[in-house]
Structure 1
Amino acid sequence: MTAPSEPLLTLLRVGTIHTPETVDATEILIADGRIAALGSNLSVPPDWPVEIIDAPDLAAVPAFIDQHAHVTGGGGEGGCGTRCPAMSAADIACMGIATVVGVLGTDSVSRSPADLLAGVRGLCADGIDAYMYTGAYRVPAPTLTGDIQRDLAWIPEVIGVGEIAISDHRSSQPTQEEIARLVSEARVGGMLAGKRGICHFHVGDGRRGLEPLRRLLSETEIPPDQVIPTHVNRRHELLEEAAEYAKMYGATIDVTAFDDCPGDSEFSAYNAVVELLRRGVPADRITLSSDCNGSLPEFDANGDYAGMRVARNTELLGAWQKLVRDGVLPIGDALGLITGNVARVLGLQHRKGRLATGFAADIALIDADLQPRQTFAAGRRIFLDAG
């Protein structure tokens, strides 16, 4: 019998394991892309094909999940010359991220859900576990099959609808009835497919803020976990409103790690999380995402395009690191912002967001400075810091 070309098992030996709780174990056995066991002094028969990775100076944590990434590039608000580039698997994995959800943004004309699906599948081929939202800023939402429910039911990578723009001069100004219909279509499509079927809402800096979502939850039977507002830290009044929204409805809100807002900026992800916690929002109702490779456009007082930058995902990692270093949250709760909480929001909580037997072997190995040095997705190493 010919020996397999690659080991069928991987044994990670590390210094510490956060599942996110810190556990009395230092080894993780990986088999068939999943975690087979956690413990210490795990033994494998000597004739079994196993690769042993010794990293005693590193800690193992659940690999991060980015629920809002422009994997095919965003932008376009200033014409075709302002389209942002696509993301690479290397850009993602080096940040300790093993799972992303791709979004379309303003431009669903030169870009399409089919283009996004191709980008998502390309990342999957490179080892990233990638998903997508069908739709874009505008309503009615552009889809792959011509129907939101069919997209959710028949396209495995589609896990919701988004990013739908509200309270923004770039949105299609959907009516309350259109919003309710779109969310209900996503909900039923998700039910038929065995998915969460969430609606991911881009919230602009318009004066209506979260009013359309408050009305949705107050006037319909839609449950709060069906809708996720993002970019809630773009201005102070919106952040205050988001805190009350989360507490009133028991809803989850998504903070964007804008990379043009360093940690000491008023609207940084770090300061937003600190403020939300101060206002009584439970940590498990907050998530962080990057908006990576989306545009950071500037508009003048008349709403005319004035310039833009391309967003990166470095601040997603930086904000999380600062929250842990400053003791704002213990590492387990802080990990929830980019692992367990996000997995729950996306309906992936039964196989992602934790290090536990039977879960996907999505693992980041971090050093004492909380910097990712190795990243594994479904047991496959997709990043190794050469330094």
Structure 2
Amino acid sequence: MTPADAQNDRLLTLLRVGSLYAPEPLEANDILIADGRIAALGRDLEIPAGWPVRVVEARTLTAVPAFIDQHVHVTGGGGEGGCGTRCPEISAFEIAAMGIGTVVGVLGTDSISRSPADLLAKVRGLKAEGISAYMYTGAYRVPPPTLTGDIQRDLAWIPEVIGLGEIAISDHRSSQPRQDEIERIVSDTRVGAMLAGKRGICHFHLGDGKRGLEPLRRLLSETEIPADQVIPTHVNRHPALLEEAADYALTFNASVDVTAFEDAGDGLSGFDAVSRLLERGVPSELITMSSDCNGSLPEFDTQGTYLGMKVARNTTLIADWQRLVREGVLPLESALGLISTNVARVLGLHAQKGRLAIGFDADVTLLDNKLQPQQTFIAGKCIYDLNRVEE
């Protein structure tokens, strides 16, 4: 065993950093990690001689909670143009290289050649590689495909299943679900999640159809379902939908998810969308951002005919987020909420993720002064290190 291998096998890890945002700025500059969790935070922590500690010197870097991407086509999306247009799977390296520690896998349009079982296998594969990974049961269509034949059983018996999604509404590719069908699957998800001790979020894909957010407005107005049970995504697909999303968030005190579109087309970029929501008075705590990475970016004509597609990447998510901080739209501590703290709360993971605090999962991203991820630690293990890649 080499000295480097011996260091990596130590039971404890001590990160010595330049600054620390938890997401609020802390006086601490050391993070002690034990058994995958944060054991201590402090300034210049002293470790007794002989303790099995691996020390990571990163005095020029800033430690923040590792990012959380709640909308990732981990098995690849696409297929709208036939089998030759299926998007590729994402790798653990591609995830961690962007400072992302946790992902939630989704199926999309294609739940025929791909299935919840495929998604679960990929999620477990990512976990084996060190990524913290979860999934939604279901897909675009209603009734949703499931692992056990029932939404409630999926939530109750499959640890990785934390909700339902992405259910497509206001989109020509959706199943055009009736209002009573939407109410039934959301309530099934709620009860199943309660039995499992989970949040049980219902993740809704918004298309550019004229109904917009109306099905979700009716759901929250006409039933007893609480607003934190559902989250609409792709709300920046076009300006009118974003305006509707701002009103929806303010009316129901509900969270909305902005997609970091690589090519916004008629829509708005993640940067522009977050900026406009804030201008409309939506609190940053009610805004999250996700990548939709490895999903398809299909183009259709006015008749719904497929014209072509691109594959989304998670690099745009980080670039849009960095721009929000660099241009002063949000301070770093508030901007971190968009891709960590707020997301953890939405998903019901807020007791273990989205913060740097004692007892929380040791999911830590180290950023340079340009906010670029240099190292990503997940459960205390270094999954990505830019220096090693460059070597």
2:208 is matched by which residue type in structure 1?
A: D
Residue 261 of structure 1 deviates from its aligned partner by 3.4
Q: Tell me, in whole angstroms, the C-alpha distance in 2 between the residues paired with 1:209 and 1:266.
A: 14
Alignment of 1:139 onto 2:142 = yes
Residue 4 of structure 1 deviates from its aligned partner by 10
TM-score (norm 2): 0.97
Residue 48 of structure 1 deviates from its aligned partner by 1.3
The alignment yields a C-alpha RMSD, in angstroms, of 1.2
Residue 45 of structure 1 deviates from its aligned partner by 1.7
1:57 is matched by which residue type in structure 2?
A: T
Of residues 205, 209, 218, the one that matches 1:206 is: 209
Q: Tell me, in whole angstroms, the C-alpha distance in 2 between the residues paired with 1:112 and 1:43.
A: 50
Residue 46 of structure 1 deviates from its aligned partner by 1.3
Of residues 157, 162, 165, the one that matches 2:160 is: 157
Give 3-state SS (helix, strand or coil) of 1:341's partner: helix
Residue 41 of structure 1 deviates from its aligned partner by 1.7
Q: How do 1:10-21 and structure 2 match up within 5 A?
A: 10-21=13-24
Match of 1:308 in 2: 309
Q: Tell me, in whole angstroms, the C-alpha distance in 1 between the residues paired with 2:148 and 2:7.
A: 40
Kindly provide the CA deviation profile for residues 299-340 of structure 1, in whole angstroms up to 9, marking residues without a partner as x: 011101100000000111011100000110110000000000
Q: 1:170 to 1:42 in 2, by over 3 A?
A: same
Q: Tell me, in whole angstroms, the C-alpha distance in 2 between the residues paired with 1:32 and 1:316.
A: 30
Q: Tell me, in whole angstroms, the C-alpha distance in 1 between the residues paired with 2:384 and 2:181.
A: 43
Asked whether the equivalents of residues 286 and 342 of structure 2 are also in contact (C-alpha less than 8 Å), the reply is yes
Alignment of 1:240 onto 2:243 = yes
Match of 1:363 in 2: 364
Of residues 21, 28, 40, the one that matches 1:37 is: 40
Q: How do 1:260-339 and structure 2 match up within 5 A?
A: 260-261=263-264, 267-339=268-340
Structure 2: stretches of 5+ with no match in the other structure: 1-5
Of residues 177, 183, 186, the one that matches 2:186 is: 183
Match of 1:354 in 2: 355
Give 3-state SS (helix, strand or coil) of 2:156's partner: helix
Q: Tell me, in whole angstroms, the C-alpha distance in 2 between the residues paired with 1:254 and 1:55.
A: 33
Alignment of 1:122 onto 2:125 = yes
Alignment of 1:9 onto 2:5 = no
Kindly provide the CA deviation profile for residues 172-229 of structure 1, in whole angstroms up to 9, marking residues without a partner as x: 0000000000000000010000000010000000000000000000000000000000
Q: Tell me, in whole angstroms, the C-alpha distance in 2 between the residues paired with 1:28 and 1:368.
A: 19
Aligned residues: 383
Residue 5 of structure 1 deviates from its aligned partner by 7.9
Match of 1:341 in 2: 342
After TM superposition, the runs of 4+ consecutive aligned structure 1 residues lying more than 2 A away are none
TM-score (norm 1): 0.98
Q: Tell me, in whole angstroms, the C-alpha distance in 2 between the residues paired with 1:290 and 1:322.
A: 15
Asked whether the equivalents of residues 7 and 54 of structure 2 are also in contact (C-alpha less than 8 Å), the reply is no
Q: Tell me, in whole angstroms, the C-alpha distance in 2 between the residues paired with 1:259 and 1:118.
A: 27
Q: Tell me, in whole angstroms, the C-alpha distance in 1 between the residues paired with 2:302 and 2:180.
A: 30
Match of 1:375 in 2: 376
Q: How do 1:5-154 and structure 2 match up within 5 A?
A: 6-154=9-157
